[in-house]
Structure 1
Amino acid sequence: MLVPIPIVCFVGTLVTDIAYWSTANLQWANFSAWLLSIGLVASVFAGLAGAIDFFGDRAIRRLRPAWIHASGNALALILAIVNAFVHSRDAYTSVVPTGLILSALVVVILLVTGWNGAELIHRHRVGVQPGERA
């Protein structure tokens, strides 16, 4: 239940970056920085829970989608941290073009890792009790 918070925040960062790029209204750049900060804090907790699942079960580590999911989420987190430093600069240089590109990369990576996470649940039944529907 921790995962949706950083996803929404990172997608929201991309949306507010696009809004700033379109309007040059400084408040959109502020929203981006706030969403990034909240997303990073929440992703630490989601990442810890994911790492416990990943490293705690050898069967999960044998699955290719688990590796894509884990390494992709780690990459997204690293890029989001870099993006937070970029967004700490002056408004225009914090968004255009580097912040906008980083925000888009994070969202694309999250789409790939989300697909692999869903495959882990629905195809490989990771985290699903026997007899329970995913």
Structure 2
Amino acid sequence: MTQTPNVPPLIESDESDYRDSGVTSTVAIAAHPLHPLIVTFPITLLTTPAAADLAYWWTKDMFWAQVSIWLIGLGLASGIIAAITGMMDFLKIERVRKRSAGWAHMVLNVAALTLTIVNLIFRWGNTSGAILPLGLTLSIIVAVLLGLSGWYGAELVYRHKVAVIGYGDPNR
């Protein structure tokens, strides 16, 4: 029987994280953390422009070009709100800053929002003309970045128990 070499895990973990009750969110209403709730909007709004751009490419129907720019604009607005709540937790909860998942989550989200701004500016006044190829490419990259960021966000919540409740001492 062969032994598996001692390979470091792909996902960092600290055994002590599994024994405590978790770290509270610094932004909550009625003990419900807001960041995990709010992120559903920009994730949805900023991953679907790729599909709308593809639909425009295949049909050349202006409806899809208009849908895409609206999704990008609304996704950016909701993404800024989600970023504010997330940054408040990032700055105030030490456990987030101590984890590579916290840094990866933040960097990927900043990159996604920056590319979203570029995508919106590029399309402004040229809704359909800006879709191929740059608009579609940016939409796909943003969707991939948000998928990766969501992975790390889930790592923070489920593995490291960050923002699992909305009251108590956020500095644990």
1:28 pairs with 2:56: no
Residue 93 of structure 1 deviates from its aligned partner by: 2.4
TM-score by length of structure 1 reads 0.92
Of residues 82-91 and 20-29 in structure 1, the stretch that sits farther from structure 2 once superposed is 82-91
* Structure 1 gap ranges (5+): 130-134
Considering Cα pairs closer than 8 Å and 6+ residues apart, tell me whether 1 or 2 has the greater RCO. 2
CA deviations over 1:78-128 (Å, ceiling 9, x no partner): 000000012224244210000000000000001111000111111111112
In structure 2, what residue type is equivalent to 1:60? V
Residue 9 of structure 1 is matched in structure 2 by 45
1:51 pairs with 2:87: yes
Distance (Å, rounded) in 2 between the aligned partners of 1:33 and 1:88: 8
1:103 pairs with 2:139: yes
Residue 61 of structure 1 is matched in structure 2 by 97
Distance (Å, rounded) in 2 between the aligned partners of 1:47 and 1:91: 26
Residue 59 of structure 1 deviates from its aligned partner by: 2.1
Considering only aligned residues, what root-mean-square deviation do their CA atoms show, in Å? 1.0
Q: Which runs of 4+ in 1 moved over 3 A?
A: none
Aligned match of 1:74 in 107, 110, 114? 110
TM-score by length of structure 2 reads 0.72
Matched positions, count:
129
Residue 11 of structure 1 deviates from its aligned partner by: 1.4
Distance (Å, rounded) in 1 between the aligned partners of 2:148 and 2:103: 12
The structure where strand makes up a greater share of residues is 2
2:47–2:146: 8 Å Cα contact kept in structure 1? no
The structure where helix makes up a greater share of residues is 1
Q: What is the percent sequence identity of the aligned residues? A: 36
In structure 2, what residue type is equivalent to 1:30? Q
* SS, match of residue 128 in structure 1: strand
Aligned match of 1:120 in 142, 156, 159? 156
Residue 53 of structure 1 deviates from its aligned partner by: 0.3
Residue 132 of structure 1 is matched in structure 2 by none
2:53–2:68: 8 Å Cα contact kept in structure 1? yes
